[in-house]
Amino acid sequence: MAAALLRLDAVTVCYAERTALDSADLSVAAGEIVALLGPSGSGKSSLLRAVAGLEPPASGRIEFEGRDITGQPTHERGFGLMFQDFALFPHRDVGANVAFGLRMHGWSPASISARVAEMLELVGLPGSARRSVNQLSGGEQQRVALARALAPEPRLLMLDEPMGSLDRALRERLPPELRAIFLRLGLTVLYVTHDQEEAFSVADRAVILRDGRIEADGTPETLWSRPPSGFVATFLGFRNVAPVTLHGGVASTPWGEVTLVGQPDGPATLVLRPGSLALAADGPIRGIVTSRRFKGDHALVSVTTDAGAALELEIRDAWPPEVGAPVHVAVDVTKVDLLPA
Amino acid sequence: MSRRVAVALSIPPLVFLLVFFVWPVIAILATGLAPDGWLDTAGIADAWARPWLLDTIVFTIGLATAITACSLLVGLPAAWVFARFTFPGRRVLRALFTIPFVLPTVVVAAAFLALLGPRGAINQLLAGNPWFPDARVRLDDSAVAVVIAGVFFNVAVVSRLVGGLWAHIDPRMEEAARALGASPWRAFREVTWPLLLPAVLSAASIVFLFSVTSFALVLLLGAPGQPTLEVEIWRQTAIMLNLTVAAALVVIQMVGIGVLLVVHARWQERLTVAQRLSPASDVARPARTRRERVAVAGIVGGLCLFLGLPLLALVERSFASGSGYSDAAWQALLHTSQRSGLSVPPVAALVDSLVFATATLLIAGTLGAMIAIVIGYRTGWLPRAFDALVMLPLGTSAVIVGFGFLIALDQPPIDLRASVLLIPIAHSLVALPFVVRAMAPVIRSIDPRLREAAAVLGASPRRVWQEVDAPLVARAALVGAGFAFAISLGEFGATLFIARPDTPTVPIAIDRLLSQPGALNFGQAMALSTILMGLSAASMLVIERWRTPGSQAF
């Protein structure tokens, strides 16, 4: 990895008695787009706010371009920040919102108006400088907030759940557009989200947080192909994840026994990937279908096994069995992941 | 509600307002503008020509400006702390800090005499000190004590009004400005301040209005020979017996207040920015940096001292006797004394006050409920005009109400000079706007779907009213009646004009006791003020408990 532009060294953030971020280490290279991914309360926003200087860390050190910026006031950092509900200034029009940071940085009026026009062009809202921010749609507000954050040429752009208050259609359409803008401008980006699909469509790298700690850090490919823990696997959307115990090549799972030859004895976490399960008359796991959901090109079938655990499998090329039907499920052990407990 | 019922309900309050408000105001105008039966501006011109008039107007405006500016200076940091930070005791302190605003002005004046006056606690302490035996606080020859007491009274107005909006301004907007390169001060100035400005100006104009008409503070704490317009109106009436000049002054004051209200309304309209308000619960957080903790502790501690000390001094002074303590002043409340300036024992004033307050509760409660029901259930220009008419006594002042009663109701066709009813009627007029404002919004906010749901479930229109509306309206009426009771207990300006010597109210008795020499009289004034403070605070607490959450007009 290239020399780190941003480096966090054991940064801890506390609110009252609660530790929101616990001794986080992170480095981000110039031009990298990093997603901070985690459920709500995992500390991802606290990490962002610490980097922005909005939350003084209780301990630890934050470096930017090799300089310690831990105690530097927010307004001297020169970073861009975009909030979930955008925090546009309601008493200023679109142009004045975008111009705000430029005025703070002492740009001349002529260069400000040129830059504002350029930014509105970039985000696809040319000519709307005189519009009131109260009349904008959600998607337009997001574009204005992005233009405002980008206008002063931030050295680091941070986005806090930028899709959080948009409807589903926009949430699916906008991330690739954002990524295109980031790449075109060569920006270094920290992108906070709780949605792994969104994270993977924007970022080069994802950092997964859990209860204030960094749980995983890697490219979408590595995380996807080999999740480092059961939590990460579940968070990435794998449905059949469970703690198991191995003994003599046989794993005792909540669903029943699964043969896994050549694995060491002891506790582990088993991930049954979607493609590893199939209905088969001689399958070792028996159960009853409790529901089926049709998802376009496949059906999602929930099975309660005789052992009493829930199992989900995708049926692609066959008609899914009726609810209440007894089924046998076979496991293709070449497609399962065995993770440390 | 049918038109007929609305008309029937409108008639009694309308007659009341015509007889006891409109007619006295006409009488004032007639005395000031047409003393001999035809229009004659000589009275006004005469008042204008008096050399002291300009001084009085300048002093009145200057005093109100000083009180307003200082109230903002103290109230804005308080608003900031309560809107932005959580700390132990926040809810309780917020409620306690509102108490000064609901205290009768006479009690506030007495409390500051207890703290800063010649017989006050601070001078008592200074008298005993060995280092500067001659050091004394001397505020009785300037308006400083009036300004301090005015600020004490109005801090809650500023911190409630401004803090209410501040708590709903998303702090992320300021953070966005900070991330864009604005220093903390610049982010406040460019983002938060413009959004707060409507509330600040609104609070400032309300404080200014209160201060222009703050009568008891100036009368009891001000320097002699420095009257405000209100005090001069009273002086011209009660001491100089020059009704024409007094009426001319009233006209001048009413014009001034009218202009003020119009300017206020214009400002308000121009400055209101539509903004998305965030729920207040997101916004307040514990102080985190050292600097924040020091600021919060300093502001909250300072407020506790500023608002608590005068009230503590009031209680302490009521027991002071020489350099020690005794309950002599409290005992003296039970007896008539030649030297008290009262022809009855002070405790009789307490009984009178409670009787008048109960009568006011009944009169203003009944009439206010009628008005609130009409303007709450019906729409159109007539209810709106009614609403405006009810608010007018608030826009004039208690002194004008009292003065109007004095000159309009003491001769045929309406001669109530001898009637004890005069006082509760005057109090009802002062209380009516508050009663209506407490009730009408509650009635308007009853969800029509509740009525529809009851009707669908089989309730007749009468049953719908009984089951859905009546409980809510009754609760609002209790709140309104509570306001009427509390306002009557503390009313001073109007009562001073019309109270008879044998039926003083508590505020009048306090004023008489304070105007007589002697430590025992002072102690009795303190004791009586302590009782009035307790009664007012208790009635406000009861009102708070009855209130429907989310329907607060005051």
Could you tell me the CATH number of the domain that includes residue B109? 1.10.3720.10
Stretch A252-280: mean pLDDT: 84
A vs B, Cβ pairs < 8 A, gives 82
d(CA B417, CA B134): 50
DSSP for residue A66: T
CA B240 to chain centre: 28
Stretch A9-14: mean pLDDT: 93
CA-nearest residue of chain B to A147?
Answer: B180
Q: Is the pLDDT of residue B320 over 80?
A: yes
Cβ count within 10 A of residue A44: 30
CA-nearest residue of chain A to B174?
Answer: A87
CA B389 to chain centre: 19
Domain-located, residue B166: yes
Q: How confident is the model at residue B52 (pLDDT cuts 50, 70, 90)?
A: confident
Whether A52 has its CB under 8 Å from any CB of chain B: the answer is yes
| C-beta of residue B427 within 8 angstroms of C-beta of residue B492 | no
Q: Is the pLDDT of residue B139 over 60?
A: yes
d(CA A230, CA A242): 7
- Per-residue burial over B362-372, b if 16 or more Cβ lie within 10 Å, else e, is ebbbbbbbbbb
Q: Range(s) for CATH 3.40.50.300 in chain A? A: 4-234
Q: How confident is the model at residue A50 (pLDDT cuts 50, 70, 90)?
A: very high
Strand, coil or helix: A25: strand
| C-beta of residue A51 within 8 angstroms of C-beta of residue A6 | yes
Selection from A188-192, A324-328, B1-5 with the highest mean pLDDT: A188-192
d(CA B17, CA B434): 15
Tens-digit pLDDT profile for residues A284-331 = 888 999 998 888 888 889 999 888 888 888 888 788 888 989 999 888
Contact B175 A15 (CB under 8 A): no
Whether A81 has its CB under 8 Å from any CB of chain B: the answer is yes
Tens-digit pLDDT profile for residues B163-207 = 888 888 888 889 999 999 999 899 999 999 998 988 898 889 889
Q: How confident is the model at residue B553 (pLDDT cuts 50, 70, 90)?
A: very low
Q: Range(s) for CATH 2.40.50.140 in chain A? A: 242-340
Length of chain B equals: 554
Q: Is the pLDDT of residue B354 over 90?
A: yes
d(CA B210, CA B198): 18
Q: Which residue has the tokens 């222009």?
A: B212
- Tokens standing for residue B260: 């003020």
Asked whether the CA dihedral B274, B280, B282, B287 is positive or negative, the reply is positive
Q: How confident is the model at residue B278 (pLDDT cuts 50, 70, 90)?
A: low
Contact A91 B183 (CB under 8 A): no
Q: Of A54, A90, A152, which has the smallest distance from its Cβ to B273's Cβ?
A: A90
Stretch A197-213: mean pLDDT: 92
3-state DSSP percent of chain B in helix, strand and coil, to 5: 75, 0, 20
Q: What is the pLDDT of residue B547?
A: 66
Contact A90 B195 (CB under 8 A): yes
B180, B282, B291: best mutation site toward chain A, by most A Cβ within 10 Å? B180
Q: Is the pLDDT of residue A335 over 50?
A: yes
CA distances to A5, A160, A230, A334, B413 from A11, rounded to whole Å, are 16, 19, 25, 40, 84
Chain A contact set for B173 (CB, 8 A): 87-89
d(CA B235, CA B215): 12
Edge-first strand order for the sheet with A277-279 is: A277-279, A326-331, A285-294, A299-305, A310-315
Name the minimum distance, in Å, from the CA of A82 to any CA of chain B: 7
- Name the residue with higher pLDDT: B180 or B380: B180
> For B85-142, where are the alpha helices, taking DSSP H only?
90-102, 105-116, 121-127
Stretch B447-472: mean pLDDT: 78
Hey, which residues does A53 pair with through a beta bridge? none
Name the minimum distance, in Å, from the CA of B552 to any CA of chain A: 26
Chain B contact set for A105 (CB, 8 A): 181
Contact B179 A15 (CB under 8 A): no
Q: What is the largest CA-CA distance in chain A?
A: 77
Strand, coil or helix: B69: helix
ipTM of the complex: 0.73
| CATH 3.40.50.300 assigned to A4-234 | yes
Reply yes or no: is the peptide bond before residue B413 cis, omega within 30 of 0: yes
Q: Quick one: which H or E segment has residue B453? A: helix B448-456
Q: What is the pLDDT of residue A118?
A: 94
Cβ count within 10 A of residue B480: 29
- Name the residue with higher pLDDT: B548 or A196: A196
Any idea which of A153-167, B235-249, B381-395, B475-489 has the lowest mean pLDDT?
B381-395
Q: What is the pLDDT of residue B414?
A: 67
Name the minimum distance, in Å, from the CA of A143 to any CA of chain B: 15
Residues contacting B313, CB < 8 A, separation 6+: B111, B114, B115, B120, B121, B122
For A118-147, the three-class secondary structure string (H helix, E strand, C coil) is HHHHHCCCCCCCCCEHHHCCHHHHHHHHHH
d(CA B430, CA B409): 17
Range of the domain at B138: 72-224+256-314
Stretch B404-416: mean pLDDT: 75
Q: Is the pLDDT of residue B25 over 70?
A: yes
Average pLDDT, chain A: 89
Asked whether the CA dihedral A165, A171, A174, A176 is positive or negative, the reply is positive
Stretch B58-70: mean pLDDT: 94
Name the minimum distance, in Å, from the CA of B167 to any CA of chain A: 15
- Tokens standing for residue B387: 């609403």
Whether B182 has its CB under 8 Å from any CB of chain A: the answer is yes
CA-nearest residue of chain A to B274?
Answer: A90
d(CA A17, CA A12): 12
Asked whether the CA dihedral B255, B258, B264, B267 is positive or negative, the reply is negative
Whether B217 has its CB under 8 Å from any CB of chain A: the answer is no
Chain A contact set for B170 (CB, 8 A): 85, 87
B447: left (phi over 0), alpha (psi -120 to 50) or beta: beta
| C-beta of residue B377 within 8 angstroms of C-beta of residue B1 | yes
Stretch A150-178: mean pLDDT: 88
For residue B309, the number of C-alpha atoms closer than 13 Å in the C-beta half-sphere is 15
Whether A83 has its CB under 8 Å from any CB of chain B: the answer is yes
Contact B183 A79 (CB under 8 A): no
Tens-digit pLDDT profile for residues B85-129 = 989 888 888 888 888 888 999 999 999 999 988 888 888 888 877
Question: Quick one: which of A52, A71, A49 has its CA closest to A61?
Answer: A71
Whether B289 has its CB under 8 Å from any CB of chain A: the answer is yes
Q: What is the pLDDT of residue A115?
A: 95
Whether A117 has its CB under 8 Å from any CB of chain B: the answer is no
For B184-210, the three-class secondary structure string (H helix, E strand, C coil) is HHHHHHHHHHHHHHHHHHHHHHHHHHH
Q: What is the pLDDT of residue B548?
A: 55
Q: Is the pLDDT of residue B353 over 50?
A: yes
* Percent of residues, chain B, with pLDDT higher than 90: 28
Whether A21 has its CB under 8 Å from any CB of chain B: the answer is no
- Tokens standing for residue A25: 């280490």
Question: Quick one: which of B29, B108, B172, B550 has its CA closest to B314?
Answer: B108
Q: What is the pLDDT of residue B205?
A: 87
Residues contacting B273, CB < 8 A, separation 6+: A90, A91, B194, B195, B198
Q: What is the pLDDT of residue A94?
A: 94
Name the minimum distance, in Å, from the CA of A47 to any CA of chain B: 15
Superfamily of domain A242-340: Nucleic acid-binding proteins (2.40.50.140)
Cβ-in-10-Å burial (0-12, 13-18, 19+) of B86 comes to middle
A51, A91, A131, A156: best mutation site toward chain B, by most B Cβ within 10 Å? A91
Contact B176 A81 (CB under 8 A): yes
Whether B190 has its CB under 8 Å from any CB of chain A: the answer is yes
Q: Of A83, A105, A152, which has the smallest distance from its Cβ to B176's Cβ?
A: A83
Question: Quick one: which of B400, B417, B442, B426 has its CA closest to B552?
Answer: B442
Name the minimum distance, in Å, from the CA of A133 to any CA of chain B: 10
Whether B187 has its CB under 8 Å from any CB of chain A: the answer is yes
Strand, coil or helix: B520: helix
Selection from A190-199, A257-266, B418-427 with the highest mean pLDDT: A190-199
Stretch B465-477: mean pLDDT: 83
Any idea which of A175-189, B115-129, B256-270, B538-552 has the lowest mean pLDDT?
B538-552
Name the minimum distance, in Å, from the CA of A211 to any CA of chain B: 21
- Per-residue burial over B206-227, b if 16 or more Cβ lie within 10 Å, else e, is bbbbbbbbbbbbbbbbbeeebb
Q: What is the pLDDT of residue A2?
A: 53
For residue B45, the number of C-alpha atoms closer than 13 Å in the C-beta half-sphere is 6
Chain B, window 258-277: residues with a beta carbon less than 8 angstroms from a chain A beta carbon = 273-276
Domain-located, residue B433: no
Q: What is the pTM of this model?
A: 0.78
CA distances to A20, A43, B538 from A49, rounded to whole Å, are 11, 10, 46
Q: Is the pLDDT of residue A90 over 90?
A: no
Name the minimum distance, in Å, from the CA of B397 to any CA of chain A: 36
Q: Is the pLDDT of residue A282 over 90?
A: no
d(CA A180, CA A170): 16
Q: What is the pLDDT of residue A111?
A: 94
Number of domains in chain B: 1
Q: Of A76, A79, A89, which has the smallest distance from its Cβ to B173's Cβ?
A: A89
Any idea which of B148-152, B272-276, B468-472, B523-527 has the lowest mean pLDDT?
B272-276
CA angle B280, B282, B284 (to 5 degrees): 75
Q: How confident is the model at residue B37 (pLDDT cuts 50, 70, 90)?
A: low
- Catalogue the long-range contacts made by A12-15 (C-beta closer than 8 Å, 24 or more residues apart): A12/A57, A12/A58, A12/A59, A12/A60, A13/A43, A13/A46, A13/A47, A13/A49, A13/A50, A13/A55, A13/A57, A13/A58, A14/A58, A15/A46, A15/B285, A15/B286
Residues contacting B16, CB < 8 A, separation 6+: B367, B428
Q: Is the pLDDT of residue B550 over 50?
A: no
| C-beta of residue B6 within 8 angstroms of C-beta of residue B210 | no
Q: How confident is the model at residue B552 (pLDDT cuts 50, 70, 90)?
A: very low
Q: Is the pLDDT of residue B254 over 60?
A: yes
Residues contacting A118, CB < 8 A, separation 6+: none
Whether A15 has its CB under 8 Å from any CB of chain B: the answer is yes
Chain B contact set for A76 (CB, 8 A): 181
Q: How confident is the model at residue B518 (pLDDT cuts 50, 70, 90)?
A: confident
Nearest 10 degrees: Cα torsion B434, B435, B437, B439: 160
Q: Of B170, B183, B273, which has the smallest distance from its Cβ to A87's Cβ?
A: B170
Chain B contact set for A55 (CB, 8 A): 288
Q: What is the pLDDT of residue B544?
A: 75
Question: Quick one: which of A268, A271, A248, A243 has its CA closest to A260?
Answer: A248
Whether A293 has its CB under 8 Å from any CB of chain B: the answer is no
Q: How confident is the model at residue B275 (pLDDT cuts 50, 70, 90)?
A: low
Strand, coil or helix: A179: helix
Q: What is the pLDDT of residue A275?
A: 79
Strand, coil or helix: A69: coil
Contact B172 A87 (CB under 8 A): yes
Q: What is the largest CA-CA distance in chain B?
A: 83
Q: Is the pLDDT of residue A11 over 50?
A: yes
Q: What is the pLDDT of residue B381?
A: 78
d(CA B270, CA A256): 72
Stretch B319-343: mean pLDDT: 82
Contact A74 B175 (CB under 8 A): yes
- Name the residue with higher pLDDT: B551 or B217: B217
- Name the residue with higher pLDDT: A143 or A87: A143
- Tally of helices (H runs) and strands (E runs) in chain B: 27, 6
Chain A contact set for B191 (CB, 8 A): 89
DSSP for residue B345: -
Strand, coil or helix: B502: coil
A324: left (phi over 0), alpha (psi -120 to 50) or beta: left
